[in-house]
Amino acid sequence: MLLEASHLNIAYGDAPAVWDVSLDVDEGEIVSVIGPNGAGKTTLINALAGLLRPRGGALGIAGTDLMSVASHDFCRHGIALVPESRRLFAAMSVEENLDIGGYRSAARRHRNESLEQVYALFPALRERRRQIAGLLSGGQQQMVAIGRALMARPRLLLLDEPSLGLAPAVVNDVFAAIGRIHRGGVAILLVEQNVPKALEIANRAYVLEQGRIVASGAPEPLLARAEIREAYLGFAN
């Protein structure tokens, strides 16, 4: 297993948000986590990225225990995050944002190679590399956010709601890019409200409701269950 999380408990102050969540992602997999608003999806993915520290449970990547690793060292272990609502360094240029993604010393050595890969994936960014990131369109900002994470040369890419606020055509572009990144050998954990898209691309999926995993497995058997179709696709049969 690449990423292994078991019995994670995550809380904000005294308010628990995620209970007893176990989840894993293997090399070469795309795993989706679906669930309604407020289920704890962002909380979970932020904990996997090291931004939030779990209260209990175990978290590891490729045999390394991450529970005692400093937040700023998670990326050294091959984890990169595309956060909810992108969170670009808005006043910096596109290329400066990408350079922050490739800040860790192992990534710096491959800077030019990584930049070429990102520009090949998103040609629109090459033309706009000197523009201020905060002034780009939503779709282009999402490309920068994904490109920034790729610059860290991750083994596991964490994507939090990459389709949020984007036009349907742009959503298709973003998911096509995710597919290409996956074929390039990067494992992907995807948190999405766009359930059809999330299940279409995934090898496996987890359903998170009210802070707990309530179902998991391959997309087809999940979709075969009437209660899941009803809750997430809006029809039962």
Task: Give me the torsion for CA of 178, 50, 23, 146, rounded to 10°.
Answer: 0
Please identify which residue in 74, 175, 206, 232 interacts with another protein, judged by CB under 8 A: 74
Helices H / strands E in the chain, number of each? 10, 10
For residue 129, state whether it binds another protein (rule: CB under 8 A).
no
* CA 94 vs CA 72, 131, 151, 164: distances in Å: 22, 6, 12, 20
For residue 132, state whether it binds another protein (rule: CB under 8 A).
no
For residue 103, state whether it binds another protein (rule: CB under 8 A).
yes
For residue 90, state whether it binds another protein (rule: CB under 8 A).
yes
Distance CA 102, CA 87 (A): 16
Nearer to another protein by Cβ, of 21 and 98: the residue is 98
User: x/- string (CB under 8 A) for another protein, residues 144-173?
Assistant: ----x---x---------------------
For residue 76, state whether it binds another protein (rule: CB under 8 A).
yes
Please identify which residue in 51, 69, 124, 223 interacts with another protein, judged by CB under 8 A: 51
Please identify which residue in 100, 121, 170, 215 interacts with another protein, judged by CB under 8 A: 100
| Three-state secondary structure of 177-191 | HHHHHHHCCCEEEEE
For residue 21, state whether it binds another protein (rule: CB under 8 A).
no
For residue 118, state whether it binds another protein (rule: CB under 8 A).
no
Please list, in sequence order, all residues whose beta carbon lies within 8 angstroms of the beta carbon of residue 50, skipping any fewer than 6 positions away: 66, 69, 70, 71, 72, 73, 74, 79
Q: Which among 11-19, 45-53, 186-194, 209-217 is the span making contact with another protein, rule CB under 8 A?
A: 45-53
CB 145 to another protein: min, Å = 10
- 95 — phi, psi (to 5°)? -70, -30
For residue 143, state whether it binds another protein (rule: CB under 8 A).
no
Distance CA 22, CA 109 (A): 35
Please list, in sequence order, all residues whose beta carbon lies within 8 angstroms of the beta carbon of residue 117, skipping any fewer than 6 positions away: 150, 184
Total of residues contacting another protein (CB under 8 A): 27
* Residues that bind another protein in the complex, under the rule CB under 8 A: 49-51, 70-76, 80-81, 83, 87, 89-92, 96, 99-101, 103-104, 108, 148, 152
